Chains A and B, each alone.
Chain A
Amino acid sequence: GAVVSQHPSRVICKSGTSVKIECRSLDFQATTMFWYRQFPKQSLMLMATSNEGSKATYEQGVEKDKFLINHASLTLSTLTVTSAHPEDSSFYICSASVSEWPYTEAFFGQGTRLTVV
């Protein structure tokens, strides 16, 4: 199947700093990518939909000024957690899929474990 690569896999940062997470589709073009957050022992919660060349669409309750998403090319979306706080510590994971029917499978990055100290 297609490959989605996410980097870094782990990051520790100090409160108040910003962290950038990259999500790349390695062998296909993704006009749309998705960002999820997963707290321990919980499900994957959709944060936002990243659209190439346009603004991201955020889910209700997700602060767009805190979680900056940039999708500048057909193979790269970035999520920047700005002014990070300990409560932002979580597992962040991106996803992309081939948009054309009948291709339906979603491909996930490896995930990023963010710890804010």
Chain B
Amino acid sequence: GENVEQHPSTLSVQEGDSAVIKCTYSDSASNYFPWYKQELGKRPQLIIDIRSNVGEKKDQRIAVTLNKTAKHFSLHITETQPEDSAVYFCAARGQAGTALIFGKGTTLSVSS
């Protein structure tokens, strides 16, 4: 089955800096790669996602890149703000209707 690795586990940046979180996946059939932000005790919140037919997607300060050949995808947050501090999870999924498999998460801390 699918296995998703996520790095780093913790990331500390200064306000205004960029943050990059990287994930790799094992199943070449996976075609959907979302990123979630999760606050303690709450459901994951989708922040951006990308499908396998796209190499890059951007939404304001957030971007995701996908390298299908290398089977890795990354989350890029620019101009970080203290409110970006949270736990971020990457995930991967095969065909529609199958389960998301999550990475272990990255705790991002943005200090002002």
Q: Which residues of A contact B (CB under 8 A)?
A: 31-32, 34, 42-46, 49, 91, 93, 95, 97-106, 108-111, 113
Contacts and interface: CB of A to CB of B under 8 A. Distances in A.
Interface in B28-60: 32, 34, 41-44, 46, 49, 51
B89 A43 contact: yes
Contacts, number: 55
B22 interface: no
Contacts of A103: 96
A102 B44 CA distance: 21
A95 B100 contact: yes
Is chain B's interface secondary structure helix, strand, loop, or mixed overall? Answer: loop
Interface residues of B, number: 21
Contacts of B105: 42-43
Contact of B42 (A95, A97, A100, A110): A110
A111 B102 contact: no
27 contacts: A32-B97, A34-B99, A34-B100, A42-B105, A43-B102, A43-B103, A44-B89, A44-B102, A45-B102, A46-B99, A46-B101, A95-B99, A99-B97, A100-B96, A102-B96, A104-B32, A104-B93, A104-B96, A105-B34, A106-B46, A108-B43, A109-B43, A110-B43, A111-B41, A111-B42, A111-B43, A113-B41
